[in-house]
């Protein structure tokens, strides 16, 4: 296995690593619902890709208030 013959300086190491950086994801608006999504990916909100439905998403139902029985069972008659 090869071993370095000479030590590499900090500057040389850092110059080499200048391109090792994180990039911001390419976020675009969905053509169907307008939600932000990654480019070339299915929309997480509606399940569409390039105008076609790929994954059918279930619509979240609004929370239903519990039904309260208003009849008074203590009074009869």
Q: What is the pLDDT of residue 28?
A: 94
Scanning the structure block, which residue is given the tokens 């590499």?
8
Q: pLDDT (tens digit, 9 = 90+) per residue, 17-71? A: 999 999 999 999 999 899 999 999 999 989 999 988 988 877 666 677 777 777 7
pTM of the model: 0.51
Nearest CA among 55, 47, 5 for reference residue 30: 47
């Amino acid at each position: 296995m090869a071993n370095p013959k000479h030590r590499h300086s900090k500057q040389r190491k850092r110059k080499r690593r200048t391109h090792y950086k994180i990039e911001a994801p390419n976020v675009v608006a969905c053509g169907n619902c307008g939600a932000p999504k990654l480019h070339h990916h299915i929309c997480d909100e509606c399940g569409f890709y390039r105008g076609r439905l790929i994954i059918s998403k279930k619509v979240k139902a609004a929370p239903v208030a519990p039904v309260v029985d208003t009849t008074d069972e203590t009074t009869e008659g």
